[in-house]
Structure 1
Amino acid sequence: MRTRAIVVAAGLALATALAGCTSDGTISMFSSSYGSKKDSGYQLPSIPISKVPRKYHRQTVRYDTKEKPGTIIVDTNEKFLYLVMPEGKAMRYGIGVGREGFEWKGTARVAMKREWPTWTPPSEMIGRQPELAKWRGGMPPGLMNPLGARALYLFNKNGDTGYRLHGTPEWNSIGQAMSSGCIRLINQDIIDLYERAENGAKVIVL
């Protein structure tokens, strides 16, 4: 009887130890964080997160890297963005990336952060999509603005790269390659990243 009690106790201890980290490295999930919320006067709609593959839900994961905490690492192949945290962890977000011909990689830094930014399509984009010419002077912030609720502006040694980490109202584009090169996140996720990331943060796009 004593032996059985020891075995049961050991099993419970092991289960408790494993409860915080699954076999895929997930420590905690934030699938309940995609509800409707009011933000700076805008009412963000809820996201039907059950329709988004689970791997793209915001989650804390085990992540092995030599980069210091606060670094942002974008894995365009896997469609993940990692914000490096202490003790071998990272906050992982699902992302949408540039479609074929618009991919990019390299190292940059977060030079500016903006809440509910104005979107100004570059002249090259207007050339491809003339209907965007009406926004040549800038599209006002709002729920349908392509930059979403937040934008982090990426610069390198040559100045503005033209690329952004930004929100999007198109939640179903997460996990897809369909942007013009920028990295897009669900609005609720870009708000979370915006609060965690610092100006000057290193950004590595793989």
Structure 2
Amino acid sequence: MRVSRILLALVAVAPLAACQSRMQTAALDDDSAWYTGTMPDKPFDVPLVDTARLDPKYRRQTVRYTGAEKPGTVVVDIDQRHLQLVQEDGSARQYGIGVGKAGFSWKGEARVGRKGVWPDWSPTTTMVSLNPDLPRTRKGGLDNPLGARALYLYQGNRDILFRIHGTNEPWSIGEQMSSGCVRMLNEDIVDLFERVPVGTQVLIKRGGKARV
């Protein structure tokens, strides 16, 4: 599938996203300029973003980690719009993220309870109450709000309905736009997905703290 066709599909369905925001006017100017090609994947190729369009601090990179968390921990900083995967050598693999609008962002401790490849999407009860016209489900694919991968966060055996997932709105990385979930570039969530197993500890911080 050509990138131009992929982009048309993404734009057409973006307003349906539950973990996503409404389409931003600036993004409509020239969506195709955000994409440079595709990365092979199954059952769909992953559209690749021109990361030169991102603020450098939101590009995937390795940074020094000064926190106390053990290697293998995922640390999400809502304020800084960063997700870090702590490494053994005192560094962290860092990714830029998009986060929830004011009043929608969650913070706390959780674990990766399950993982999804090109996952299906369904709105929460709250989302449906706010927008009864939302579709009740959407199959995984290029037009899906969860993107190429999703990490489902649990506390104990309970799905807390908070996700770390891909996005088809790359211009939203670094922004406070979603309905609460943490969104990443599709190529970044694919990279993270391969590095974190089910059971991985996840800390979501706001104001420098994960605990209420």
Q: Distance in 1 between matches of 2:47 and 2:118?
A: 15
2:31 — aligned with what? none
How far apart are the structure 2 equivalents of 1:104 and 1:45?
A: 28
Q: Is the aligned partner of 1:127 residue 2:158? A: no
The DSSP-based 3-state class of the residue aligned with 1:195 is helix
Q: Which amino acid aligns with 2:139?
A: P
Aligned twin of 1:147:
146
Q: CA deviation at 1:95?
A: 0.3
Q: Secondary structure at the match of 2:133?
A: helix
The one-letter code sitting in structure 2 at the alignment partner of 1:168 is T
Q: Is the 8 A contact 1:117 1:150 kept in 2?
A: yes
Asked if the contact 2:81–2:175 (Cα under 8 Å) also holds between the matched residues in 1, the reply is yes
Equivalent-residue separation in structure 2 for 1:154 and 1:46 (angstroms): 26
What pairs up with 1:18-167 in 2 under 5 angstroms? Answer: 35-132=37-134, 135-136=135-136, 138-157=137-156, 159-167=158-166
CA distance, structure 1, for counterparts of residue 193 and residue 48 of structure 2: 19
Matched, 1:177 2:176: yes
Runs of 4+ in 1 over 4 A off after TM superposition: none
On the 8 A contact 1:70/1:198 being kept in 2, the answer is no
Query: CA shift at 1:35, angstroms?
Result: 5.0
Which of structures 1 and 2 has the bigger CA Rg?
Answer: 1
Offset at 1:43?
A: 2.3
Structure 2 unaligned residues grouped into runs of 5+: 1-35, 206-212
- Cα distance in 1 between the residues matched to 2:201 and 2:43: 31
In percent, how many aligned pairs have the same letter? 49
Looking at structure 2, the residues matched to 164 and 170 of structure 1 have their Cα atoms a distance apart, in angstroms, of 16
Q: Distance in 2 between matches of 1:117 and 1:36?
A: 19
Deviation at 1:45, TM superposition (A): 2.0
Deviations 1:114-150 (A, max 9, x none): 1000000112112222221xx31x2101112010000
CA shift digits 1:31-77 (9 cap, x unpaired): xxx75212103122221211111110100111112211110000000
CA contact (8 A) 1:65 1:88 kept: no
Larger relative contact order, structure 1 or 2 (CA cutoff 8 Å, min sep 6):
2
- What residue number does 2:190 align with? 191
Counterpart of 1:84, as a letter, is V
Number of aligned residue pairs: 170
Alpha-carbon contact 2:74-2:200 (below 8 Å) kept: yes
C-alpha separation in 1, matches of 2:157 and 2:48: 39
Give the Cα separation in 1 of the matches to 2:156 and 2:47: 38
What RMSD over aligned residues (CA atoms) do the two structures have, in Å? 1.3
Q: Which amino acid aligns with 2:200?
A: A
TM score, norm. by length of structure 1: 0.79
Residues 75 and 100 from structure 1, CA distance in 2 versus in 1: closer, same or farther, beyond 3 angstroms?
same
CA distance in 1, matches of 2:57, 2:156: 34
Alpha-carbon contact 2:47-2:186 (below 8 Å) kept: no
